[in-house]
Structure 1
């Protein structure tokens, strides 16, 4: 049986290749993601280990919200006087104060801030030449006074040369510095694409932090003293609120932060890889179902020659295993190529990754073969059981057809699967949070797809009849034959269409979600914000100097101005986001509707909250609200409450109160309202006169702000569509495979059609029209399911600001049209194959 099975496989190499393509695509996505993730983790682990290799102990303030680890927000500064205390601890070989902050430079040749693709702009104090240093001069010399050095990667990309007069933007007003050198960090020209600017320590303290303050203090131990022992000695002399950690712990924290970010990106990619594998399973199931149906006499002959049911079943399963093995092997190799392409794509967005080769871990190889072989084995299980049910007598009957189960039972099963999946989907989106919620959503979505796929044969005949109704009118007998071929086997058509349905359903779902987000943004800006101009940093998540907001106050035509900042605090044992702004302007510019108390009393020692949160937390106006800030616990008086606002969030404090507890001294956003008698163009000129010195800040009016938000949504959707394209391509392979096998199955029929006068051109058209009907059927199913998913996602994200539902009819129609075009594309190869058949040989086929 083994020899026979191998000969059958080798005799049909094309079928083997077509079947393996679905596995190859899915496995390559999985392995590519794993290889890229392992590579990034390894390179950054190595980088941070090298950066901290000379550090025995790091001293910093404790972030009370995040415990002892480096938290979401910058730790409060360490007093400079502590440096001398630490130097006096026995076992300390060297100690230096470190200053870190935000700084970006303006390219003197373009007048623009360099686009880092989302990587931060870092300002730091120069420590080259010290025992704790991980930097070395690449060209020029170290900085003094009004001088800077820049990482070599950023300097090269910006075309900077030593001696350039460079404007640097920090938390204060812009200042001009002389570039006196470039440097590398642990031998790397760049650190993840970030721009790093180094000043001498006094200058760094003045422009990044404050005089006589450090971000942290780094310590080197004398020879023979362990990091743990020195940490314990230093901890004994530290004041309350300050901690000492080992250099290894510091490296691990930095690496873990990167791994967390990389892990999120990896999970995002693996979700789409899983979708591709899921689609591939449909293709494999359909392929083996058709193969078993075509090989009834061959299987029956095996039974007649003595093969038992178990041997026949194992023979088909073995074929599936070979397909899975071949596909997994090819997918593993292509995964490495995909990892390189993903790395190039990341670099194209301006993020320079540390150099290093690809990392292939045994886990990746195991996962690749597990996915490839297990998926094909599971997908071929039911076809294998059908193959084993072929009786030996079928070898003597040309008309024997494998028995099929009742569509009524299938309909009941499909309704049950769809119902359970829909309930899990809605529950996971609305009631469960975290990783468990994501798992529930994934299971629910998978069951929905399986349910619709199970129901699809019931829908196939009436829907394909309706879709194909115009074909006889347009194409005559050829169109009628194409439609009838699509209707002939509803199970096969439905299975083929289901693979395409999954990809297009997800495209439709994200289209609905994107349209709802854009409509919600427009409604929110119109109804929930009271500003006329919005100022934001040009880079993603990049803050800018609060001097802008200060300079705008009191300008002609400007009524209200507030900068906005936010960070994490803990209230009632839960981490939450605090939003801060000018106490006078904030309630008006956020268009808050007062419920109780007085929102105007927002200031030092007070907090205002939305009324729903006050009720849920059991607070009352005038009551003390315990708040845990990074610098420790305190209480704030609840001054007032407001109606729930998607923009304001749950908790608001003043900028002065915020500054007492956080080291975040940059505005993330500035909102401006003009006076009632002012002209908007004149006010815009006033704002531009202030922001002209800050190229990292963009000014937008309401309509421009809405368009920018919509553009960001479109960019994200574009990225998602690119990832979903792989699932659609796999579905395309499925249509090709099904049509190719269908052409083989109908060889004699095609010969007879040619014999009675059908031309090659008409035959090709018939196959193409059949493919179009099946593809449009899949697109219609996908649009229906995707519209439900989009509605569910919109409903689930209501608390995140998506408070309106919008249906992108134009996009949905485009999806259906694309489905039809995919059918035309998929039919090219099978149609040519059918048209090339020899008429007499085709008629003679049994």
Structure 2
């Protein structure tokens, strides 16, 4: 039986090629994902270990917990703590660290680096200012020594073209500083390796810009020879100021490695999910292939049974064929996956604008074993049902070519099960909307998808019959194509289902993304009357000097800075938002249910969103006590109630009331109204007035909308790229089905040719059959996708995005339907050509 199975595999190389390709693509995606994520994990972990190689113990401020009673920010470390740490027994050296966001402009004025990866730090030259900072060896020039000097990392210098002696625009919190480059240094910082930037200031300037004079955000200690990290940590703990902790360098490296692993595991899970979809689609192709191969070998299997082979042996014979196919496809998929990993690594570097940390390609034994097992198991499982069917065929019936069609009982059972699954799934989806249960939604969607798949043979006849008027235009070829498409409903259903699943996911995600984009766009632009919103590129706090510069411009008629600070109300931690009460009404468009902004300016009044007011039992005129960030207590009176959204919500009071209680004053954004309204010329004037700052963005409503659209489009394009794998597998499925169908109908095609159907008519018949099957899958997929998109959207709206509404992307859905048609046309090219080239006499004589 083993020899027979292997001979059958070799005898049907062409027929099994599509199956091998389908399995290989899914397996390649699994292998590529595992190799890629393992490689970047290893590279970043190695980089982080190198980054902490000079650190044995770090003294850091403890992050305040969310339920902490203290509202003030944690104090930084001071020079006194640094001096004590340097004098500890077992300390070889102590370095004070200051770091924070710092952006530099490229020569074209745009921001170098990638937002959060654009950092600044201090060059610590010792207490006397004459030592060298071992973290940053100078490649060219010297370290910065005065307030107008900086040093750049070597990779940033190469990317931007800056060199020693150049003057560079630099910004920390808004205002632009013209800094002279006096040095270029090398660093093993992982952020720099990944495309970020690092700017060094002298110690005093860094403290002034990134912390406060005389303060450090961290102190790093190196142990003397003979002192372990644990011993130095124990000694350092004795001098710790309040709200500070000592951490070993090893723990810092381990924590960063865990964080990297956690970040990459999310990406790995998402990519493996799409690989699973591709494999799931491939199951239909494998099952179809083995079903047709078994049908073609009915007499052969019956003869084997007649000469003594048992049902179990026949089943094993088919499964051995599947195992052989799966093993070959998995090995090829592993090789292709390694190539995919290399390509993804290069793509990530080019898209990110930088290079990933250096490191070898990691192909672990677990990856190899997992990949091979997945491919083989999927193939064998898909072939198990056809194998069972083959073993159950009575030998006499099979040898007489009596093909038993599906019984009425089996069809009724299948349709009943499908209806129960589909009905139950739809009920769960609808129930999940009312109960806001995402898990129920996921279960319902899965059951509905399975139910529709089971019912697909039943649905195929009426849906394909609906295409009859169009197919009549193609006369005999069109009629034959329709009859061939419904001749074997199960095979047609399995082929169409592969395409249906891919298009269901693509359509559903597009509908959801369109609704979210419309909702956020409506919130962002509908709640604003301002012409422009000015903010930091990385959404950190703006310096109040930015608003002062804007107010000094003749074109600016009104502006309001938005600030936030923590507070305590009724024993609970809340956030207070500061606005300029005198003109905020001219810059925002809030829907008030009671009261208004009147009285907020310069007073002890505030406006509150309706949800918060309901939670606390407030109404217009209510007074509530507030504990501010500095610990002082006060009282605020409710002047108005408004409907909040994701952009503006909570408690809004005047900046003159809030600012005196803030630990550090900074603006989240500044809303601006201009005399000439929004225009390209006005935007250019504002940017010029702010010094063409690389870290500050000036956006009008259109810019805000385009920014939202761009982010969602990028995400959708990534998803389309990943789901394209499933569509490619579906194409192979259609090709496979048609090729097998043409082989089975050789005699029939020969007879058609003999009675007058020319080669062009045969080609047209096969192409139309393929087109009908593909469009059937496409219509089902788009319909299910719209339903799932609507249901998920209702769940999103119930979760708080009130402005969400169903937006049907008719244009994209039309493209998806054309894509389904294109799949049918492309998939039919080879089978149609093969059918047309048949010799009619040989075909008539074929069994």
- Structure 1 length as normaliser, TM-score? 0.89
Q: CA separation in 1, counterparts of 2:755 and 2:718?
A: 51
Q: CA separation in 2, counterparts of 1:445 and 1:661?
A: 49
8 A contact 1:143–1:181 mirrored in 2: yes
Tell me the residue number matched to 2:707. Answer: 708
Q: Does 1:411 align with 2:410?
A: no
8 A contact 2:567–2:627 mirrored in 1: no
- When structure 1 is superposed on structure 2, of 267-276 and 590-599 the one drifting more is 590-599
Tell me the residue number matched to 1:306. Answer: 308
| SS at structure 2 position matched to 1:239 | coil
Tell me the residue number matched to 1:266. Answer: 268
TM-fit CA distance, 1:622 = 4.1
Q: CA separation in 1, counterparts of 2:745 and 2:571?
A: 69
Does the C-alpha gap of structure 1 residues 682 and 833 become closer, same or farther in structure 2, counting only changes over 3 Å?
closer
Tell me the residue number matched to 2:449. Answer: 449
Tell me the residue number matched to 1:471. Answer: 471
TM-fit CA distance, 1:161 = 1.8
Q: Output aligned runs, 1:243-322, within 5 Å.
A: 243-322=245-324
Does the C-alpha gap of structure 1 residues 823 and 685 become closer, same or farther in structure 2, counting only changes over 3 Å?
closer
TM-fit CA distance, 1:566 = 7.2
| SS at structure 1 position matched to 2:137 | strand
Q: CA separation in 2, counterparts of 1:27 and 1:570?
A: 54
8 A contact 2:531–2:677 mirrored in 1: no
TM-fit CA distance, 1:602 = 9.5
Tell me the residue number matched to 2:784. Answer: 785
Tell me the residue number matched to 2:32. Answer: 32
Tell me the residue number matched to 2:397. Answer: 394
Does the C-alpha gap of structure 1 residues 469 and 661 become closer, same or farther in structure 2, counting only changes over 3 Å?
farther
8 A contact 2:793–2:806 mirrored in 1: yes
| SS at structure 1 position matched to 2:303 | helix
Q: CA separation in 2, counterparts of 1:100 and 1:244?
A: 18
8 A contact 1:172–1:207 mirrored in 2: no
Q: CA separation in 2, counterparts of 1:266 and 1:465?
A: 43
Q: CA separation in 2, counterparts of 1:561 and 1:467?
A: 61
* Residues 423-463 of structure 1: per-residue CA shift (max 9 Å, x gap): 55567788678xxx5x7655443333221111111110111
TM-fit CA distance, 1:367 = 2.2
Q: CA separation in 2, counterparts of 1:845 and 1:659?
A: 94
* Residues 787-814 of structure 1: per-residue CA shift (max 9 Å, x gap): 0111122112222465221111222122
Tell me the residue number matched to 2:819. Answer: 818
TM-fit CA distance, 1:487 = 1.9
8 A contact 2:141–2:184 mirrored in 1: yes
Q: CA separation in 2, counterparts of 1:138 and 1:202?
A: 23
Q: CA separation in 1, counterparts of 2:624 and 2:332?
A: 66
Q: CA separation in 2, counterparts of 1:572 and 1:467?
A: 67
Q: Output aligned runs, 1:508-657, within 5 Å.
A: 508-537=507-536, 545-553=543-551, 555-556=553-554, 558-564=556-562, 580-582=577-579, 584=581, 589-594=587-592, 610-616=609-615, 622-623=623-624, 640=638, 642-650=642-650
8 A contact 2:117–2:192 mirrored in 1: no
Tell me the residue number matched to 1:237. Answer: 239
TM-fit CA distance, 1:74 = 9.8
TM-fit CA distance, 1:132 = 7.6
Tell me the residue number matched to 1:334. Answer: 336
Q: CA separation in 1, counterparts of 2:530 and 2:835?
A: 66
- Structure 2: segments with no counterpart, 5+ residues: none
Q: CA separation in 1, counterparts of 2:573 and 2:291?
A: 53
8 A contact 1:128–1:134 mirrored in 2: no
Does the C-alpha gap of structure 1 residues 625 and 278 become closer, same or farther in structure 2, counting only changes over 3 Å?
farther
- Structure 2 length as normaliser, TM-score? 0.89
| SS at structure 2 position matched to 1:495 | helix
Tell me the residue number matched to 2:376. Answer: 373
Kindly tell me the number of residue pairs found equivalent between the two proteins: 828
8 A contact 2:64–2:74 mirrored in 1: no
8 A contact 1:516–1:802 mirrored in 2: no
TM-fit CA distance, 1:52 = 0.7
| SS at structure 1 position matched to 2:687 | helix
8 A contact 2:237–2:245 mirrored in 1: yes
TM-fit CA distance, 1:625 = 7.1
| SS at structure 2 position matched to 1:406 | helix
8 A contact 1:463–1:777 mirrored in 2: yes
| SS at structure 1 position matched to 2:100 | strand
Does the C-alpha gap of structure 1 residues 224 and 603 become closer, same or farther in structure 2, counting only changes over 3 Å?
farther
Q: CA separation in 2, counterparts of 1:517 and 1:561?
A: 29
* Residues 530-574 of structure 1: per-residue CA shift (max 9 Å, x gap): 32212345x565766553233223644535434456799999999
Q: Output aligned runs, 1:343-358, within 5 Å.
A: 343-349=345-351, 350-358=353-361
Does the C-alpha gap of structure 1 residues 63 and 429 become closer, same or farther in structure 2, counting only changes over 3 Å?
farther
Q: CA separation in 2, counterparts of 1:637 and 1:364?
A: 62
Q: CA separation in 1, counterparts of 2:333 and 2:743?
A: 28
Q: Output aligned runs, 1:649-668, within 5 Å.
A: 649-650=649-650
